[in-house]
């Protein structure tokens, strides 16, 4: 998906030794300069630059985003007033844990400086994608990212849908674009695993953890904890979600299934159980690929690959398709796409009869 082309180019630069990351966090590549990724201030903590690369800007336009404000790690802006206090507050949130697996295989082929650069680019792709969809970067853990979706002025359903959309895009990037690039380099089996859960207002407590500058505004909730546990049982390039996510999202049941192993056996039905309270909480596998295909700005080419399509491009394509069908030379291939290529089923003129 060309939405991530800038990131692929940066990783290629890192593999070729053409990408440099300096001590102050700035980076340079032959194509130009990137801005500082993170700045540390002893009084304010770490402010992270979440401005996406150029190739992701169409996604910003597609979701109606005109601006993204830089963020402070461990400080969701809607709860910043809790900093340096003993106060607590209850409010819903969607918790997302994104992790990259088997990146240690890079050590067999590349020096640690190159691995650092590659990992950083992948992590930034996750950060930027989440930020575009309204996510707040809470914590960076190794090559993983922990993100909150939602806030005081965000609808609960929208927060869940934003989380599912962001993680679906990132999973596609890792499974397809990144996989192809690494396989060309003889590197295999680098993948992502993601866990998502939703905790409602009465189930999520916000407060400060730590002390002084060594602190963060965080959530105390079963559902925050379960997001990382779901990530742990997700399959390669899969998204595991709690049943609250299914309920709140109101998406088709067809997008959810049990988390199964490679033999088709169910791994686990319940991610958490409390028999004394008759509480059995399900974990489900989310069909992110089908979800992406359902988005109005995503199309599928003749080979089944997904790509971003602007509204104007989509309308032009519809006009061209309508013209092709009218000409009588239209064929429908196995992916349901209409073209002049005769390797599909020839479209038939309709036989309906209309009367005034």
d(C-alpha 46, C-alpha 62), whole Å: 29
pLDDT tens-digit series, residues 174-228: 999 999 898 888 887 789 999 999 999 999 999 999 988 788 999 999 999 999 9
Same domain, 197 and 54: yes
Helical segments of 73-221, H only: 112-132, 156-172, 179-184
Same domain, 121 and 262: yes
Do both 100 and 204 map to the same domain?
yes
Owning domain of residue 329: 311-350
Q: Is residue 321 part of a domain?
A: yes
- Is there a single domain that holds both residue 124 and residue 158? yes
pLDDT tens-digit profile of 8-33? 999 998 888 765 544 344 454 433 33
Residue 31 is encoded by which pair of tokens? 């194509």
Between 234 and 30, name the one with better pLDDT: 234
Q: How many CA atoms lie within 13 A of 142 on its CB side?
A: 9
Task: State the pairing for strand pair 191-199/93-101.
Answer: antiparallel
Confirm if 78 and 118 have CB atoms less than 8 A apart.
no
Domain check: are 184 and 328 in the same one? no
pTM of whole model > 0.85? no
Clarify whether residues 333 and 299 are in a common domain. no
Task: Enter the tokens of residue 301.
Answer: 């080419």
Residue from 174, 44, 206, 154 nearest 101 by CA: 174
**Residue 283: strand, helix, or coil:** strand
Structural domain total, the chain: 2
Please check whether residues 237 and 332 belong to one and the same domain.
Answer: no
Please check the confidence at residue 40 and state whether its pLDDT lies above 60.
no
Residue 332's nearest CA partner among 320, 319, 346 is 346
Say how far apart CA 6 and CA 184 lie, in whole Å. 18
Q: Is residue 355 part of a domain?
A: no
Same structural domain, 303 and 335: no
CATH number at residue 293: 3.30.70.1230
In a domain, 356, yes or no: no
Instruction: Give the HSE-up count for residue 227: Cα atoms under 13 Å, Cβ half-sphere.
Output: 28
């Amino acid at each position: 998906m060309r939405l991530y082309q800038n990131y692929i180019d940066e990783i290629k630069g890192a593999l070729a030794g053409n990408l440099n990351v300096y001590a102050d966090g700035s980076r340079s590549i032959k194509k130009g300069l990137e801005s500082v990724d993170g700045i540390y201030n002893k009084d304010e903590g770490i402010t992270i630059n979440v401005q996406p690369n150029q190739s992701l800007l169409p996604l910003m336009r597609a979701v109606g985003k005109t601006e993204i404000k830089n963020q402070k790690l461990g400080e969701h802006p809607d709860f910043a007033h809790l900093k340096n206090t003993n106060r607590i507050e209850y409010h819903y949130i969607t918790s997302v844990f994104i992790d990259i697996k088997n990146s240690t295989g890079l050590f067999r082929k590349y020096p640690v400086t190159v691995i650092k650069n590659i990992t950083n680019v992948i992590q930034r792709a996750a950060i930027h994608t989440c930020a575009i969809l309204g996510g707040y970067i809470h914590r960076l853990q190794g090559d993983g990212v922990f993100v909150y979706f939602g806030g005081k002025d965000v609808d609960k359903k929208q927060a869940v849908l934003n989380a599912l959309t962001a993680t679906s895009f990132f999973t596609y990037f890792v499974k397809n674009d990144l996989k192809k690039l690494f396989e060309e380099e003889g590197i295999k089996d680098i993948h992502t695993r993601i866990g998502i859960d939703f905790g409602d207002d009465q189930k999520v407590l916000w407060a400060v953890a730590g002390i002084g500058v060594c602190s963060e505004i965080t959530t105390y909730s079963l559902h925050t904890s379960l997001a990382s546990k779901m990530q742990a049982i997700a399959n390669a390039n899969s998204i595991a979600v709690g049943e609250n996510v299914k309920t709140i999202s109101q998406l088709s049941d067809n997008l959810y299934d049990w988390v199964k192993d490679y033999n088709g056996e169910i791994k686990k039905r319940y991610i958490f159980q409390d028999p004394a309270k008759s509480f059995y909480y399900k974990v489900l596998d989310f069909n992110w690929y089908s979800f992406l295909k359902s988005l109005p700005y995503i199309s599928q080419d003749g080979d089944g690959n997904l790509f971003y399509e602007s509204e104007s491009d989509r309308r032009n394509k519809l006009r061209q398709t309508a013209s092709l069908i009218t000409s009588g030379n239209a064929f429908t291939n196995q992916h349901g796409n209409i073209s002049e290529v005769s390797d599909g089923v020839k479209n038939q003129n309709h036989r309906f009869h209309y009367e005034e």
